Amino acid sequence: MVAGTLLRGKAGFFIGEESALSRIRGAHVGESWMNIPDMNATPNDPRRTIAKITVGSILTTVAGRVTSSMDAFAGWMLAGLGAGLAFILGNISSVAAFISISCVQRAVLLFIAAAIMGILSRYIAVLVTSSSEAGAKGEERGEKLGPLLDTAIFAEEFERAAPWGGRWLVRRSITKVLQGDFAYGGRFLMAMATVHSTLVFIELCLVLSAIAAIFFGLRT
């Protein structure tokens, strides 16, 4: 994803941003989408490239911020539950008179399941947030380097630096960008952010279920 954003920035350098943006601004403000002539732009129209670059950049930023926010919230919930269970288990002989042991066992199992979801979601969060932050810098660097960047050498070295299991993803990202799909990286990160959100939702449901198990296990 970082490779794609740097190449996306390089593409922005070659478009001639001021002249291209001046063609987009002004004439169509407030009109319906269907009435905008830009919607019928030819495949080689620079406006299409600018639109894809802009969408890819925005989606990358949104994915990074959403993922980091949700990850922090879920982390605090899981840590709080873990601390509570650690206290109960550490004083099990004292609290056994006030709470059902079977309910504590059920809560521990739910906590383990939530922790597994948490590990998976943290892994995805690291990928998305690091790609988003590094991608922003890579896109900026690509705009500055412009013709000085050897695309072939860059793609080869970036693919060699990737882990064995992730090389296909790097190769696909670079290939998509070279084919003109400058929004691919942003779309991919948004898809990963959606998966992360689903895992976080499951994690929170398990955490709340564990809390409920402890609550309903209290002896009155």
Question: Above pLDDT 70, what percent of the chain?
Answer: 69
Q: What is the pLDDT of residues 10-52, one digit of tens each?
A: 444 444 444 444 444 444 444 454 454 554 555 566 777 777 7
Q: What is the pLDDT of residues 87-139, one digit of tens each?
A: 988 888 888 888 888 889 999 999 999 999 999 998 888 888 877 777 667 66
Comparing 18-27, 75-84, 153-162, the range with the smallest average pLDDT is: 18-27
Dist. CA 1–CA 130, nearest whole Å: 10
Average pLDDT over residues 145-165: 70
Provide the angle, in degrees to the nearest 10, between the axes of the packed helices 184-216 and 167-178: 140
Average pLDDT over residues 139-156: 69
| Concatenated DSSP letters of 154-184 | HHHHHHHHS-GGGHHHHHHHHHHHHTT-TTH
| β-pair partners for 218 | 99
> What's the pLDDT at 33?
46
| β-pair partners for 99 | 218
Distance of CA 27 to the CA centre of its chain: 35
Task: Say which DSSP state 100 is in.
Answer: -
CA dihedral 104, 202, 123, 2 (to 10 degrees): -160
Q: Does position 201 have pLDDT exceeding 50, yes or no?
A: yes
Handedness of CA 86, 87, 90, 96 (dihedral sign): negative
> What's the pLDDT at 116?
95
Domain ranges of the chain: 2-216
**pTM of the prediction?**
0.69
Average pLDDT, the chain: 76
